[in-house]
Each structure stands twice: as structure tokens, then as C-alpha cells.
Amino acid sequence: MLTPTQIEQFHVNGFLNGGQLLNDEEVEELRGEVMRVIDERERTDIPQPVSLRNLGGNDSTPVWQIVNIWEASEPFRRLVSRQEITTAIAQLTGATELRIWHDQIQYKPPQIGGTTHWHQDAPLWPIIAPMTEVTAWVALDDADESNGCMSMAPGSHTWGNNIDFLRQVEEYDSMPSEFQGRAVQVTRCPVKKGEVHFHHALTWHGSHNNTSQRPRRAIALHYMTNETRFVASGEHVMKPFVEVGDGEQMQGEHFPQVYPHN
């Protein structure tokens, strides 16, 4: 459970380090699963994630993205349903029911792992509305300055949809110090392995490249509230798995309910 002070901090900043969630043994098991799923990606006799690709498309600076590893890995299936996470998301959103929207591993290999450019999550999810407010991000390696931790712009979750502006920021490190008369601050967010970090779906964020000798593996867990409906006009990697009609409440086997707990 989050404390009232943590909830207040999240609402002010648009992000929050929620503290330790996983012990070393659990982290080891999940790390092993990430590498197994990558190694076994060509197999047709076992469940596969929804997608596995190099996010930036550049082979010399890869960011391996795996979407819905929970559908290919029992330990990850348990992680997305973890009561500590879903209870915290319910506290932060005020939701009475939550479903999995999708998950997303981002793996930046040692020395060459690339940048994840500045963005907001909600504008990248045009097949759901209203937006899902909060993502839980769980580090599987210590994520810090040297291996590509996330950075956030405090307060930016209150500034609306600014995805076009963020796309025009040319270099990851060249964020302007002002946006529409507001001071923009960039805060590095180191997260220890096994910790969970929350961010709002409109918070400006991204992560720099990995120049260290260590991998940077982490998973973002995106949830939907009970209000979330399908918007058929949009495009998204999860669209082929939606089983409901335009405007209907999102549900189905790829979007299981995880809160309240049985």
C-alpha cells in the first residue's frame, strides 16, 4: 500500500519510486525469462509474446522491446498480477477494477543499448479511451545514470497532450528549458533492481543510452481501468487481439482482470 504522502507526491510530480517489490531470487528468475524468451523467439511449439523487436531499428544501438511477455512466461504472468502493484495502481487512479492493457520489456544491452526518446504514453495508445493513467515500471537491473535509467519532467502530466512537441526534440539531451511559458526540468530517476517506479500516462519521459558494461532490463506494466473502451479508428500492436466492438468496454483473454484480486 502506498502512503498518503506517496500518493500526494505522485499527483504533484507525475511519478513516484514505490520502493522494493522483488527479492533477488525473483529478479534472477525474471532476468532468466527475458533471455529465454529472446533465445526461443523462433519456436512455434511454445507461447510467444505479441512482439519482439529492436525499437529504434538501428542495429548498432539496439533497444530490445518485448510486448506481452506475460503471455509467454509464467513468472511474468505472476508479476503483472502482483497485488502490491495493482493495489498501488488502484490507489493512484481511484479505479475499482483493473485489467492488463499490455506489458513492455525494454532491454538495453551493455555498451551499445540505445536511447528511448522523450514521449508520453497515452498519445501512443490511440485504441483506448479514456486514457489509462498509471504505468508501473519494474527494474530487473539497477538502472542508473550509466546504463540508461529513465528521466521524467516533473509536473508535465498536467500539461495535456504534447506528443508533437516531444517528437520535435531532436536529441535526447536537448530538452528545451521552457515549454509554453513553463519551466521544464529533467529529473533522472535511478531505480534499483526489484524496485517499482510509477509514472502517469502524460508525464514526459524517456531513457538515455547504456554506456556501461551492464545490461539494463526493465518491464513497464500498463493497466486499464474499468472505464476503458475500444477506439477502433486507432492503430496499436495490441489491436489484432481486441475482441470487442468499437466503443465497448475492453475485455477478453488478452486483457484479463487483475484487480480486485480473487
**Which residues contribute to the site for ligand AKG (CB under 6 A)?**
106, 116, 121, 135, 137, 150, 205, 207, 218, 220
Q: Is the peptide bond before 130 cis (omega within 30 degrees of 0)?
A: yes
Q: Which residues lie below 8 Å from residue 114, measured CB to CB, with a gap of 6+?
A: 55, 56, 58, 61, 62, 63, 108, 209, 210
In the complex, least distance from residue 140 CB atom to ligand AKG, rounded to whole angstroms: 10
In the complex, least distance from residue 191 CB atom to ligand AKG, rounded to whole angstroms: 10
Residue whose C-alpha is closest to residue 89's, from 191, 159, 1, 220? 1
In the complex, least distance from residue 241 CB atom to ligand AKG, rounded to whole angstroms: 19
In the complex, least distance from residue 190 CB atom to ligand AKG, rounded to whole angstroms: 12
In the complex, least distance from residue 3 CB atom to ligand AKG, rounded to whole angstroms: 23
Residue 75 grid coordinates? 513468472
Beta strand spans in the chain (E): 15-20, 51-54, 64-67, 98-108, 116-119, 128-129, 134-139, 150-152, 178-179, 182-183, 187-189, 195-200, 205-207, 216-225, 229-230, 257-259
Q: Is the peptide bond before 260 cis (omega within 30 degrees of 0)?
A: yes
Instruction: Judge contact between 150 and 207, C-beta under 8 A.
Output: yes
In the complex, least distance from residue 202 CB atom to ligand AKG, rounded to whole angstroms: 11
Q: Which is nearer to ligand AKG, 47 or 130 (by Cβ)?
A: 130
Q: Which is nearer to ligand AKG, 66 or 250 (by Cβ)?
A: 66
Q: Is 4 helix (H, G, I), strand (E, B) or coil?
A: helix
Residue 259 grid coordinates? 484487480
Q: Which is nearer to ligand AKG, 135 or 156 (by Cβ)?
A: 135
Rounded (5°) CA angle 148-235-228: 85
Residue 53 grid coordinates? 523487436
Residue whose C-alpha is closest to residue 107's, from 209, 24, 191, 17? 209
Q: Which is nearer to ligand AKG, 70 or 137 (by Cβ)?
A: 137
In the complex, least distance from residue 71 CB atom to ligand AKG, rounded to whole angstroms: 18
Q: Which is nearer to ligand AKG, 205 or 214 (by Cβ)?
A: 205
Q: Which is nearer to ligand AKG, 96 or 187 (by Cβ)?
A: 187
Q: Which is nearer to ligand AKG, 86 or 116 (by Cβ)?
A: 116
